[in-house]
């Protein structure tokens, strides 16, 4: 893997899980990174402080991508701090529920629930990409969106979550059209990932997910981060694609 020294990255939802693993991998390869986190999430500043102490070029980029105006301001501030933007990782997302909601439980999927999911998971990536488009074109850069196998006809945390990720897969293709030929846009679709959210699941449910996976283990955030960095930095002729990273879970 070649050094990414001189390259810059904005990672949304970078305070934990897949986002933080992505920040760490880009940092290890020498990139300068803006780590986006919710303004009231103490994990973001703590991660920035830790990574800077390790000698990495990381700056905080607080902001809520689910809010119109706030997302665009965050992107603008991040680009100003970095000086340019080579890669945008639209990773921020939410299931908006601690436990999966069965498809038949329609009453729990009210307007507020749908709005929370769609504003973060679908409109958030659009807002950030639109705000970063000029900088990405100038750098001949790339975007990677974090989708999900739930957007590819697999059960997710709710039908709203699945719809948001299916929409994101479609949005990835159309953003690739919009930014071509100067910049590329791809997505990853993780399966069962061992994160803070899934860690709270009952042991039997987690084991069932692992048994369904051909490789017989859960994905780690680092597994997904490797695919994200690959699509951003190491695949110059790949665009408009969604790479499934699930160890065979969806097969």
For residue 202, CA distances in Å to 146, 149, 219 come to: 25, 21, 17
Pick from 132, 126, 136, 142: which is nearest to 237 by CA?
142
How many angstroms separate the CA atoms of 11 and 9, rounded?
Answer: 6
How many angstroms separate the CA atoms of 112 and 1, rounded?
Answer: 44
Q: Among all residues, which ones are annotated catalytic?
A: 161
Q: Is 147 exposed, middle or buried (0-12, 13-18, 19+ CB in 10 A)?
A: buried
Tokens of 210: 């692992």
Q: Which residue is listed with tokens 């959210």?
A: 197
Q: Look at strands 87-90 and 8-11 and give their pairing.
A: parallel
Which of helix, strand or coil describes residue 37?
Answer: strand
Which of helix, strand or coil describes residue 126?
Answer: helix
């Amino acid at each position: 893997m070649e050094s990414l020294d001189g390259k810059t990255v904005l990672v949304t939802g970078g305070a934990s899980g897949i986002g933080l693993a992505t920040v760490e991998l880009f940092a290890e390869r020498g990139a300068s990174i803006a780590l986006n986190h919710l303004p009231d999430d103490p994990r973001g500043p703590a991660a920035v402080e830790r990574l800077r102490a390790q000698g990495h070029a990381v700056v905080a980029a607080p902001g809520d991508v689910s809010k119109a105006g706030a997302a665009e301001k965050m992107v603008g501030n991040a680009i100003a701090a970095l000086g340019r933007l080579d890669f945008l990782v639209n990773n921020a997302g939410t299931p908006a529920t601690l436990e999966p909601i069965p498809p038949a439980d329609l009453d729990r999927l009210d307007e507020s629930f749908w709005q929370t999911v769609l504003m973060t998971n679908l409109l958030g990536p659009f807002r950030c990409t639109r705000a970063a488009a000029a900088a990405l074109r100038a750098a001949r850069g790339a975007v990677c969106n974090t989708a999900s196998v739930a957007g590819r006809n697999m059960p997710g945390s709710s039908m709203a979550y699945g719809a948001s990720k299916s929409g994101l897969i479609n949005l990835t293709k159309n953003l690739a059209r919009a930014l071509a030929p100067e910049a590329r846009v791809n997505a990853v679709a993780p399966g069962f990932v061992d994160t803070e959210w899934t860690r709270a699941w009952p042991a039997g449910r987690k084991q069932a997910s692992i048994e369904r996976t051909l490789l017989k283990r859960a994905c780690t955030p680092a597994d997904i981060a490797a695919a994200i960095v690959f699509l951003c930095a190491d695949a110059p002729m790949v665009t408009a694609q969604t790479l499934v990273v699930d160890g065979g879970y969806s097969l």
